[in-house]
């Protein structure tokens, strides 16, 4: 018998395989990738329209984001970018884009925070199958 063979070595059958994510969680993630931007675009549009309608409220939009976007002339001459030209006629487009990005960040951070709290409350195993548990011996501090 060799040094590393015998009854104390791990056999392949005793080693756990890598856990795979359940398909339902991948489906939920795919739906969230589609739903969060759609919701944030709607909320961003509502916020910008609300801020423009109620100027007395402290929610001010920088004037650089307001108005119809101006693009270089070469963009209008390009044949491949012609389908994007109707987007450039939307007033306050930059304000809508910025508000939507901010909403995406806020919604995603809230979802991540809720997920972290629920994951912590579910109390998963602290150590994986290949981790060594902490030692029970407490070292004493020595002073010189």
Task: Report yes or no on 55 lying in a domain.
Answer: yes
Task: Report yes or no on 27 lying in a domain.
Answer: no
- The CA-based angle 75-63-88, given to 5 degrees, is 25
Residues of the domain holding 109: 37-121
Q: Are 44 and 96 in contact (CB under 8 A)?
A: yes
- The CA-based angle 87-100-48, given to 5 degrees, is 80
How many Å apart are CA 10 and CA 14, to the nearest integer?
6
Task: Report yes or no on 73 lying in a domain.
Answer: yes
Residue 119 binned pLDDT confidence (cut-offs 50, 70, 90): confident
Our count of domains for the chain comes to 1
Residue 106 binned pLDDT confidence (cut-offs 50, 70, 90): very high
Name residue, tokens 């304000």: 95
Give the range with max mean pLDDT: 26-30, 75-79, 123-127. Answer: 26-30
Task: Report yes or no on 49 lying in a domain.
Answer: yes
Task: Report yes or no on 140 lying in a domain.
Answer: no
The reported pLDDT for the residue numbered 43 is: 96
Task: Report yes or no on 77 lying in a domain.
Answer: yes
Name the percent of the chain lying above pLDDT 70. 83
């Amino acid at each position: 018998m060799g040094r590393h063979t015998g009854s104390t070595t791990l056999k392949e059958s005793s080693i756990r395989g890598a856990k795979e994510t359940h398909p339902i969680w991948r489906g939920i993630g795919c739906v969230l990738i589609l739903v969060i931007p759609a919701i944030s675009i709607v909320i961003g549009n509502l916020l910008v329209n609300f801020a423009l309608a109620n100027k007395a409220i402290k929610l001010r939009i920088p004037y650089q984001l307001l108005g119809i976007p101006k693009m270089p002339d070469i963009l209008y001459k390009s044949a491949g970018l012609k389908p994007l030209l109707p987007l450039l006629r939307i007033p306050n487009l930059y304000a809508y884009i910025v508000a939507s990005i901010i909403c995406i960040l806020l919604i995603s951070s809230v979802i991540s925070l809720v997920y972290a709290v629920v994951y912590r409350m579910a109390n998963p195993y602290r150590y994986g199958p290949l981790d060594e548990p902490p030692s029970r011996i407490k070292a004493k501090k020595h002073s010189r």
